[in-house]
Amino acid sequence: MAIKSDTSETRISADIVKTLRAGIGRISAEVIAEIQARIPEYARPSDEVYIKVVRMAVEQAIDGFLDHIQDPAAPWDPEPFRMIGKGEAAEGRNLEPLQTAMRLGARVGWRRLTEIADTLGLSPQSLYDLGEAIFVYLDQLADAAAEGFDEARAHAAGEIERRRNRLLDLLLSRPPAGAEAISDLAKAAGWRLPKTVACVALDDQHGTCRSPAMPPDVLMGLDRATPCLLIPDPNGPGQARMLESALRGYLGAIGPPVPLPAAAASLRWAAEALELSGRGVLPRGLLHCADHMATLVVFKDEELVNALAEVRLAPLAHLRPTQQDRLAETLLAWLRYGRGAGEVAARLHVHPQTVRYRLRQLEELYGDQLADPDVRFELEIVLRARRAALNVIHGKV
C-alpha cells in the first residue's frame, strides 16, 4: 500500500534520510516524553513493557515516514498501526488519546526538522513539502488505527452477542442448565444475573420480527422459532412503563414474572397466550399473561375441558341454542358475581325479574347439583371456555 499525498512529492536524498534515521532514538524519546506529559492515558513511567511497546510504535511511525520521503512510491504496511488501533479498543479507550498522541508526535517531528533544516541543507520549499508530507502521513496513520479500532470493536460486540445468545439458550433450555454454567456465561457476556425474569413472546407475522428498542440488559432472541425477549427484574422501577413504550404496536404476550431458573416456563405461558390471541380467544395486541391466567388454565387441555363440558352442560343439551346461550350466560354471571338477582341483572344488563326466571329454570334443570361447591367450580371452568369459544365464533374478544 503506497502512501497517498495531496501535494507534489519531493524526494529527499538518501544522505539526508540517513542522517535523520540516525536520530530516530533521540526523537522517539522526545516524542514519548511529550506524549506521557500531556496525555494521562499514556503516563505509565513504571510499566517497562508498556514503554517498550510505545517506543516501538513511535519508532515504526518515524521509520515509515523516512522510507516514504526517500521513496514516495514505496509500499507501506498499515498493519502495525491497525494493531495499535485494536490495542486501544482492547484497553477500553476511544481513539481521542491516540489521535492526540499522533498530533503531538507530528508536532515534535516538525519542530526538530525546522531546527536542523539549515544543517541538512533543506531549501524552504523542501521544508514546506516535508511539513505537508508529515500531516498527510499522519492522516494515513490515523486511518489505519481507526480501521483496526473499528474491527476490534465490531469483533468484541459480535462475541458478546454470541455469548448472550448462548446464554439465552441456556436459560430457556428444558431442563434448565446448571446454575454454575449460567453464572459463568453470564459473566463472560457482561450480564448481571437477576432474581426474577419475564419472557415476552412476539408475533412474527412476516417472518422477520423487527428489533424493538430495548435496554442492554434485555436478552433478545428474535431469530428463535418463537421470537422472544427475556426481561430481567420485570417488577423493578420503571420496567412496566419501559415495556409498554418499547413494545407499542407489537403483537405479543408478556409472561408472568418467575425466578431465573424458571425462565422457560414464563416463555411457555407467553407463547400459549400468543397462540390463543391468534385464535381470537384472547385480545390482539400486547397481552399480560397475569391478566388472563384463568383463560390460560382453562385452555391448557381443551380436550379435557370439552369432556368436562359434556358432563356439566348436559342439563342444557335439549334446549334450543338461544335458550342454552341465555341460561349459560346467566349461570356464569351467577357463579362469578354472587347469588343476588340484582347483581347478576346489572352485570347482564337485563331486568332482575328476567334473571329470577332464568335462575328458576336452572334450578329445575340442575337440581341439587348447584349446591355442590365442586360442581359449581367445574361449571365455571366449562362456562368460561364456552364463552371464549363463542367469542371466537362471533369475532368478540
3-class SS letters over 335-393: HHHCCCHHHHHHHHCCCHHHHHHHHHHHHHHHHHHHHCHHHHHHHHHHHHHHHHHHHHH
Q: The C-alpha cell of 71 is what?
A: 521513496
Dig out the grid coordinates for 10 from the structure: 519531493
Instruction: Report which secondary-structure segment, H or E, holds 329.
Output: helix 321-337
pLDDT at 206: 56
Torsion over CA: 164, 165, 166, 170 (sign) = positive
pLDDT of residue 172: 93
> Rounded to whole angstroms, how far apart are CA atoms 103 and 142?
10
Determine the Cα–Cα distance for residues 158 and 73; give it in Å rounded to an integer: 38
CA distance linking residue 295 with residue 315, whole number of Å:
24
DSSP secondary structure string for all residues of 34-102? HHHHH-GGG--TT-HHHHHHHHHHHHHHHHHHHHHHH-TTSB---HHHHHHHHHHHHTT--SHHHHHHH
| Helices of type H across 121-236 | 124-171, 179-188
Query: What's residue 17's pLDDT?
Result: 79
CA distances 236 to 106, 214, 253, Å, are 52, 15, 19
- The Cα 383–Cα 363 span in angstroms is 17
Say which amino acid occupies 20. Answer: L
- Rounded Cα gap, residues 161 and 353, in angstroms: 65
Whether the CB-CB separation of 334 and 359 falls below 8 Å is answered with yes
Identify the three-state secondary structure at position 175. Answer: coil
Round to whole Å and give the CA distance between 250 and 204.
10
The reported pLDDT for the residue numbered 207 is 55
* Burial 24-36, CB ≥16 within 10 A → b, else e: eeebbebbbebbb
Rounded CA-CA distance 253/345 in Å is 34
pLDDT of residue 86: 86
Q: What is the pLDDT of residue 2?
A: 47
- pLDDT 10s per residue in the chain (397 long)? 444 444 445 567 777 778 787 877 788 888 888 888 888 877 776 667 667 777 788 888 888 888 888 887 777 788 888 888 888 887 778 888 888 888 888 888 888 888 888 887 888 888 888 888 888 888 989 999 889 888 888 787 778 888 898 999 999 998 877 888 899 889 888 899 999 999 999 987 655 567 888 998 999 998 888 899 999 999 999 998 999 999 988 899 999 999 999 999 999 999 999 998 888 888 888 999 988 888 888 788 878 888 888 999 999 999 999 999 999 999 999 988 876 788 888 888 999 999 899 999 999 999 999 999 889 888 988 888 888 777 766 655 5
Of the candidates 375, 391, 390, 393, the residue with the CA atom closest to the CA atom of residue 308: 375
Distance CA 32, CA 44 (A): 11
pLDDT of residue 201: 95
